[in-house]
Amino acid sequence: MDTAGLVALRHDLHAHPELAFEEHRSSEVVADYLRSLGLEVHRGLAGTGVVGVLRNGDSERCIGLRADLDALPLHEQNLFPHRSRHEGRMHACGHDGHTAMLLGAARELAEDADFNGTVVFIFQPAEETDGGARVMIEQGLFEQFPVDAVFGMHNWPGLAVGQFAVHNGPVMACADQFDIVLEGHGGHAAMPQQARDPLIAGAALVQALQTVVSRALDPLDPAVLSVTRFFAGGEAYNVIPAKAHIGGTVRTFRAEVQDRIEAALERLSAGIAAAHGVQAHLDYRRGYPPTVNSAAEAGLCVEVARAVAGDDNVHTELPPSMGAEDFSYMLREKPGCYVWIGNGEAEGGCMLHNPHYDFNDAILPLGVAYWVALVKRRLG
């Protein structure tokens, strides 16, 4: 394995981070690399998406391996030579490493095609914000490339170098958003009897929303509802505002729980508003769905991870994360599995989305070995 080459590639991607759907340079780098290996390269899905196809033998079987291309709107505070050259943009989630590992695997497999079937290498834009996976699917990803299963991998700070975690079932949560506008009747602060105060209704509603998780859900169903925005009033101290705006996020692992939470939000907004003589307008928006691994594929990934990392280095009992991931859209369409690969210590700023974060180059060869072993096992 050309580890030095992979590290250089990873550093080049890290130094040139690009935001959602603007990954033009990264897309070019990936496409050139795949072409140089002799893979069939398809561009244009979701704009900057790249798909490489590697066929061998006569089997109809086909699997998809996915990496993400995008960076975050963050100002990098690292000072090492491969730090971001782009002001206000940073690879703070390690997607540079994910891309490098998948390219490394494409190279190994192209040079030693010891499998029977088709491998589809999927490089998607816009994981962080806009659901590039969803857009690729909407534009025909799985019609053009009918994979039997799809696999993803994310580096995981806090998990030791040399280790993997595989979840049978939910691995990441959904990420829904809600906005509630409370509409009252503005007026003079000294004459509240002539107004209908949306701010008081809002204060009561923020409190009431704390009962959604504790009272409306099965205690064995993990969920979090956080109110993160509350705006009302302007500059004046003597004006009762006409409107108050509350917003927040909901994370959970099952669609049924999302339904219950949305219904509870509707009920509480309407009820609290009515109690205070104001109107409530709820806008509940489903974001990334929960990321749920299928049992057979999770089992395969455990075997593969054990084969490359050793039996003691594969965790199968870690709790899932309340973070979200748009690979979930692919797992809604196809069976598959998304694993975590240890990035080492999360301390010292090396947590995801931290301005001091960096993908750990030491894990590049292990990530490549995992992808290669997975292909050989699945298409063996």
Nearer to Ni ion, 30 or 212 (CB): 30
**Tokens representing 249?**
């996020």
- Residue 22 has a CB neighbour count (10 Å cut-off) of 18
Nearer to Ni ion, 197 or 326 (CB): 326
Least separation in angstroms between CB 213 and Ni ion: 26
Least separation in angstroms between CB 324 and Ni ion: 10
Nearer to Ni ion, 51 or 67 (CB): 67
Between 3-15 and 95-111, two packed helices, what is the crossing angle to 10 degrees? 140
Least separation in angstroms between CB 98 and Ni ion: 8
Nearer to Ni ion, 127 or 262 (CB): 127
Nearer to Ni ion, 6 or 93 (CB): 93
**Tokens representing 282?**
């709820």
Least separation in angstroms between CB 174 and Ni ion: 16
- Adjacent-strand bridge partners of 237: none
Q: Where are the alpha helices (DSSP H) in 245-363?
A: 255-275, 295-309, 327-333
Nearer to Ni ion, 151 or 178 (CB): 151
Structure-token match 């130094």, residue found: 15
Least separation in angstroms between CB 27 and Ni ion: 17
Q: Which of 19, 16, 128 is nearest to 83 (CA)?
A: 16
Concatenating the DSSP letter of every residue in 21-39 gives T--HHHHHHHHHHHHHTT-
Say which residues have a Cβ less than 8 Å from residue 265's Cβ, sequence separation at least 6: 178, 180, 209, 212, 282, 284
Nearer to Ni ion, 45 or 93 (CB): 93
Least separation in angstroms between CB 93 and Ni ion: 3
Element containing residue 4 per DSSP (H, E): helix 3-15
Nearer to Ni ion, 117 or 157 (CB): 157
The full length of the chain comes to 380
Least separation in angstroms between CB 290 and Ni ion: 16
| Pairing assessment for the beta strands 291-292 and 170-172 based on DSSP bridges | antiparallel
Least separation in angstroms between CB 313 and Ni ion: 22
Q: Which residues sit at the interface with Ni ion, rule CB under 5 A?
A: 93
Nearer to Ni ion, 93 or 339 (CB): 93
Least separation in angstroms between CB 170 and Ni ion: 17
**Tokens representing 275?**
């109690």
SS3 340: strand
DSSP conformational letter for 377: H
Least separation in angstroms between CB 127 and Ni ion: 6
Nearer to Ni ion, 56 or 129 (CB): 129
The residue of the chain with the least Cβ separation from Ni ion equals 93
**Tokens representing 281?**
């307008």
Say which residues have a Cβ less than 8 Å from residue 41's Cβ, sequence separation at least 6: 31, 34, 35, 50, 51, 52, 53
User: Which residues in 203-241 are b (16+ Cβ under 10 Å) and which e?
Assistant: bbbbebbeebbeebbeeeebbebebeebebbeeeeeebb
**Tokens representing 151?**
């696999």
The C-alpha angle with vertex 313 and arms to 308 and 319, in degrees rounded to 5, equals: 120
> CA–CA separation, 106 vs 104, rounded Å?
5
